[in-house]
Amino acid sequence: MKKSSILAFFAFIALLPLSRVSAQETIKRKGYTLTFESNFNELDPQLKKRLIETFFVVYPKLSKEYNPNTLKTVKFFIDTAYKGVAATSNGIVTYSSLWMVKHPEDIDVVTHEVMHIVQDYGNSVGPGWLTEGIADYARYKFGVDNPGAKWALPPLKPEHHYKNSYRITARFFAWIEKNVKQGTIKAVDASLRDHTYKPEIWTKLTGKDLDGLWADYVNNPEL
């Protein structure tokens, strides 16, 4: 490349919007590695610190509880181009910069998303509502500041069903753990990971199928 071309190239790079430039940092603690990348230059340093600290608090606990063979290296990416809330794939959690700005208190979005890494269901034989329900149950159980985000499991309503997913399903699971049999959700999670899950597992574990459990829950939904 000629000298004039090189100068023109660097001049072009200098004119690129700063939001396209990603800053990356790698943190290692007690056998786990988190790579933190962001193209959002306005990210609050204190929020970044909280995201990192939350990972190192909850991820080892989730690993110990559900899947000791989970990935030991995870990546967080705060992305200005991502328009959702957060998404996880192949050990990478992408967070919306807009969500971070509007909901800086929602730190346990980390807990939900890294639980998806721990779940590691691959081509699961289980339904999507079950995957998301377990992830929100993990947030409920292991979250570091759900109250700060005004995040809670919703009271049962007539229109609810266990297939509604997320917090509605998570509350049902919390009820099962408290009132039916402790360890049920952990066992179901394991069956999804080794691809042996069948609906009959609920009867095997608790003596009732999902519909029967839900009927009991509706009759006495207190946690």
More confident residue, 66 or 17: 66
Q: Which domain holds residue 197?
A: 124-223
How many domains are there within the chain?
2
- Regarding whether 218 and 134 lie in a shared domain, the answer is yes
pLDDT (mean) for 42-54? 97
Please give the backbone phi and psi of residue 2, each rounded to the nearest 5 degrees, phi first.
-65, 160
Mean per-residue pLDDT of the chain: 92
User: Is residue 114 scored above 70 in pLDDT?
Assistant: yes
pLDDT (mean) for 25-39? 97
51: CATH: 1.10.390.10
pLDDT tens digit string along 166-195?
A: 999 999 999 999 999 999 999 999 999 999
Say what the pLDDT of residue 4 is.
44
Residue 4 lies in a domain: no
pLDDT tens digit string along 54-93?
A: 999 999 999 999 999 999 999 999 999 999 999 999 999 9
Helices 166-179, 184-193: axis angle to 10 degrees equals 120
